[in-house]
Amino acid sequence: MSNKRVGEANWVLVLFAALLWVLSVNCVEAGSAEGARQWQLERHRPMNRAAARDIAPGDASNTTATESYNFVAKWGAVTEDGCFNAPAGVAIDASGNIYVSEAGNNRIQKFNSSGQFITAWGSFGDGDGQFNIPVDVAVDTSGNVYVAEQENNRIQKFSSSGQFITKWGSKGSDDGQFYLPDAIAVDTSGNVYVIEAGNNRLQKFDSNGNFITKWGGYGDNDGQFISPSGVAVDNSGNVYVADGYNNNVQKFSSSGEFITKWGSTGSNDGQLSAPSAIAVDNSGDVYVAEWGNNRIQKFSPSGEFISKWGSRGNDDGKFAGPEGIEVDNSGNVYVASMLDNRVQKFGPKGRFRLKVGIESDGTGELASPYYAAVDTSGNVYVADTFNDRIQKFDGNGQFITTWGSRGSYDGQLKEPRGIAVDTSGNVYVADSANNRIQRFDSNGGFISTWGSKGSGEGQFKTPRGIAVDTSGNIYVADLYNSRIQRFDSNGGFISTWGSFGNGDGKFDSIEGIAVDASGNVYATDLYYNRIQKFSSSGQFIAKWGGRGSADGQFETPYGVAIDSANNVYVADFYNDRIQKFDSAGVFITKWGSAGGNNGQFGRPSDVAVDTSGNAYVVDHFNNRLQKFAINGTLPTIPSTPTGLKAFHATGGLSLSWDVDPNATYYVLYHGSNNAVTIKNYDGGIYSVRDDFYQKGNNTGQTYVYTMKACNSTGCSAGSDLFTQTFTRVVFNGDFDGDGKRDVLWRNANTGEVVIWLMNGTSIASAASTATPDLNWQIQGIGDFNKDGKADILWRHIKTGEVALWLLNGATIADKQSVARIDINWQIQSLGDFNGDGMSDVLWRNVQTGNVVLWTMNASEVLRYDSVATVDSNWQIQGVSDFNGDGKSDLLWRNVETGQVVIWLMDDTTIAAVNHVATVGINWHIRGVQSQGGGNSNILWQDSTSGDVYAWRMSNSTIATGAYMARGVPDNWKIIGVGDFYGKGTKPITDKSDTGSQGNVLWQDTSSGDVYIWATDDSDYAATNVPAYWFSE
């Protein structure tokens, strides 16, 4: 190959365009008075509230527990690097690096200014460098990192890389002690300010933890606090405190002298609802995150309202429980949203810029779940509240299915809370923010709905808990109507009881509800910390509870469940435990404590019990379910995984291995520090995220992997090593309709898409098209609207959504949503299988091997047909018209035997199967190109020697074959084939033909140089392409 260098100017233009785009990486209605009050109850521990209690703490039982519950399994939480599980605090250092305190995973994660993961440290515990609910993080001017731990009641100091330096604090109210530290800030002199929600005060320390001063105290007067939740310091040393329960911001001097305050309860400009965090920019402007209103407000230093943004939701610029906030030196604002597990970056005016890390909304992953139910077969249904969906698992946590999306149509959900299953398997969901009940079959098929907002019969004001008796009657906890409503199985109203108050049969905040085998109804009251028992017609029978932490007392009881023996289980939210009683309210046992370890809880919100007595606990802020067995034994550690196979696929790595019945999850390792957890595997092919395994500069490298099989007891030994060599193919197509192939690149860091419009080896123009979230992966290039120009088919690898970009050159003419498909179905290829001039989509189910073809008309799926079921050893290698009938055919290869087969297709029917040859597995197909008239080229390369060989095909048989090159250096990779000159396709093997068109696109992975191979016209298209530019 020539050493000629051309194209530098074109690449500079592309890079300049890239700088104009910003990275987007890929985890109660606002303003209502009722919703604000409920957020207060849920976010803040209800400390020191002056309220009547009708049961004295001394009345509670303190019986010694006679039963024990052992941890069995857990699922739902995300632990991979870059993903979040209850992010609570965010801080920015002078270099723009982002630090996130992750309460659910008990760790700190560090990212660069573009949102790329750098490192993480921490684990559950109370040792140096360990955490127990790290709720906030701050960074000083030297780059030291300070972490406030809620349950360990201390501050830890680290270097910027996570090395432990020092710690201070213990539980108490003396100087230097803490009770529920909730926020931390550092001033320009290195002084550290800590807010304590439990002691309702602020303490100031030097950088080594020596106590300096304190101020505050319980109350609503100037300088007093109730559940303060945020602290920030401006460049002049003024201190701002977000006073969570008083719904105001207070400003002090650095020594604690009160200066001013602003705010009142509400949702208007300048009003606040449960302010949870606060930050100050270099100009002194103040930013306040509101948990209740799910928004950010910006104020002047004196409290004058400037602007606001945000609302409840999981779209860009929306929030679900904003818990942390910080501003960098450029005025960009970072918000950690705890309930939907993400961190977002905004410009100074509130314009969305990027998401830090990777979203946690994939199947099997939970975002602040509230309730669960178990059917008679032991399947578990979870109200995945802040993903607005229901997820179904088997009793071991294996994912089965999911349904729902945010909205108000049939089958859509807004903050689903209560969930119940009848004896026929029908699922009833309290669609809380839509003020209705929806009924589904066991697979999520919509059946019926009833209810609307109001106080009449059959109306609701935020329905929460829901239960079904053995006769199919439905009971609903109607929160803000302070009542229980009873319906038949079709939603017909039967009766109601309850009203606001603290007497027998009255409620302040009714939440959970359950029914025993005799039809007795049990309901929890959050505010009065009690359980009430009624007959099925609403007659009061008994009550028990009271506020406290002794046996039989509660601190905000949430969900309630009944087992087959009529024992009562209560999720004791702020005591981080489950309590069990007999049907009369006599205490039996309890388990749990605050934390993120096995058997610990981060605010348990519900419990469900199966027919075997196993208890499933919804661990709300840890975003997971935990399963417990009474006096249970831990399962056997799984055997070492066997039968491991690896395949490269668009968007990542595809794997298969033998299933171990004792394994609930698997861990795949690459290198010394890289690991990813794989859940819900029950055979077939499993696709692993691209961002973990393949980066631009790793193309062509051989990776070595090992795997362990795990369950709650532990993990097996590592498997035998297995390898996968990553190749990549640059997507190329005729994007401008000039008859010449063009090239599509994507930036691995930002997700930006750039298209080179080609003229032979010259880049005629280069343009940035858009910057999609990296969770969106390109599935293929094809002409979907028959305009002679290539379009792009996308898929969101977490949600399964399919979308289409119709292109005109490098410009997006139209964006169209196609469908949302279960992630087990993977797109295999695009082709015109019915000869209508428009691309169709070929799918394959990775679990079953079933191959299905979508016949398309632009973004419309005209029909879908099952083609065949194929063993996982067979992989599609290319699409071409091998018999000249104008319809695409399929090239398959058995990755175990090396056998090559062609399916000659007639629309969705396999007209013939031709066995072409068997080739050694060291040879890999690098590209397939149709020549027309039943002739195609298949390009091979030997991964051992580097030799390149081409088959010239004639009607699915090998007409001729020849070596193209010998011993190509390993740094040169084939990344595509195509007609870049528009002269018509000729055999790749015809190297002697003068004027032969460009066929093979190469890249030097060591230098980044891009080269087009076309005999006399071969040349460099560009040089020094940075490694982070790649095609998927």
List of residues 6+ apart from 871 with CB closer than 8 A: 849
Per-residue pLDDT tens digits for 37-76: 343 444 443 323 222 223 322 333 334 455 788 888 888 8
Cα separation of 655 and 649, whole Å? 10
Sign of CA dihedral 899, 905, 909, 910: negative
For residue 15, the SS3 value is: helix
For 18, the enclosing helix (H) or strand (E) is helix 8-18
pLDDT, position 36? 38
pLDDT, position 988? 52
pLDDT, position 99? 97
Q: In which residue are the tokens 């010449």 written? A: 740
Q: Please give the structure tokens belonging to residue 910.
A: 């396999």
For residue 570, the SS3 value is: strand
Q: In which residue are the tokens 């169709």 written? A: 840
CATH topology of domain 645-725: Immunoglobulin-like (2.60.40)
Cα separation of 371 and 503, whole Å? 27
pLDDT, position 77? 79
Q: Which ranges of 31-135 does DSSP label H, i.e. alpha helix?
A: 33-43
Q: In which residue are the tokens 């560009």 written? A: 1022
pLDDT, position 166? 97
Instruction: Tell me the CA distances in angstroms from 279 to 240, 420, 861, 982, one per residue in order.
Output: 8, 42, 49, 58
Check: CB of residue 286 under 8 Å from CB of residue 296. Answer: no
Instruction: Tell me the CA distances in angstroms from 666 to 3, 627, 681, one per residue in order.
Output: 47, 18, 8
Cα separation of 307 and 717, whole Å? 56
Name residue 880's amino acid.
S
pLDDT, position 979? 67
Kindly give the parts of the chain with pLDDT less than 50. 1-64, 650-651, 672-673, 690-700, 989-998, 1030-1032
Name residue 518's amino acid.
S
Walk across the sheet containing 909-918 and list its strands. 874-880, 889-894, 899-906, 909-918
pLDDT, position 46? 31
> 992: burial class by Cβ within 10 Å (0-12, 13-18, 19+)?
exposed
Cα separation of 201 and 217, whole Å? 5
Cα separation of 158 and 89, whole Å? 16
Cα separation of 81 and 120, whole Å? 7
Check: CB of residue 60 under 8 Å from CB of residue 552. Answer: yes
pLDDT, position 440? 98
Q: Domain 33-46+77-356 - what CATH class? A: mainly beta
For residue 800, the SS3 value is: coil
Q: In which residue are the tokens 């007392």 written? A: 553
Cα separation of 304 and 298, whole Å? 9
List of residues 6+ apart from 589 with CB closer than 8 A: 65, 66, 67, 68, 69, 579, 580
Which DSSP category does 874 fall into? E
CATH topology of domain 371-536+549-630: Neuraminidase (2.120.10)
Check: CB of residue 69 under 8 Å from CB of residue 623. Answer: no
pLDDT, position 791? 94
> Hey, what's the torsion of the CAs at 988, 992, 997, 999, to 10 degrees?
30
For residue 475, the SS3 value is: strand
User: Which residues is 403 bridged to in the sheet?
Assistant: 390
Cα separation of 949 and 945, whole Å? 12
Cα separation of 390 and 376, whole Å? 18
Q: In which residue are the tokens 């890390």 written? A: 357
- Ramachandran category for residue 631: left, alpha or beta (phi over 0 → left; psi -120 to 50 → alpha): left
Q: Please give the structure tokens belonging to residue 507.
A: 């409620």
pLDDT, position 1016? 52
Per-residue pLDDT tens digits for 652-666: 566 778 888 888 888
Cα separation of 716 and 665, whole Å? 11
For residue 574, the SS3 value is: helix
Using alpha carbons, select from 383, 438, 460 the residue that is nearest to residue 415: 383
For 12, the enclosing helix (H) or strand (E) is helix 8-18
pLDDT, position 20? 26
- SS3 letters across 666-724: EEEEECCCEEEEEECCCCCCEEEEHHHHCCHHHCCCEEEEEEEEECCCCECCCCCCEEE
Domain with CATH 2.60.40.10 in the chain: 645-725
Name residue 283's amino acid.
S
Check: CB of residue 24 under 8 Å from CB of residue 355. Answer: yes
For residue 542, the SS3 value is: strand
pLDDT, position 733? 84
Using alpha carbons, select from 631, 634, 597, 603 the residue that is nearest to residue 617: 603
Q: Phi first, then psi: give them for residue 58, nearest 5 degrees.
A: -70, -15
Say how many residues make up the chain: 1032
Q: Please give the structure tokens belonging to residue 150.
A: 């809620």
Domain with CATH 2.120.10.30 in the chain: 33-46+77-356, 371-536+549-630
Cα separation of 148 and 37, whole Å? 26
For 148, the enclosing helix (H) or strand (E) is strand 145-149
Using alpha carbons, select from 371, 736, 793 the residue that is nearest to residue 559: 371
pLDDT, position 630? 85
Cα separation of 906 and 419, whole Å? 48
Q: In which residue are the tokens 């992966």 written? A: 777
Walk across the sheet containing 825-831 and list its strands. 825-831, 840-845, 850-857, 860-869
Q: Please give the structure tokens belonging to residue 919.
A: 């080739």
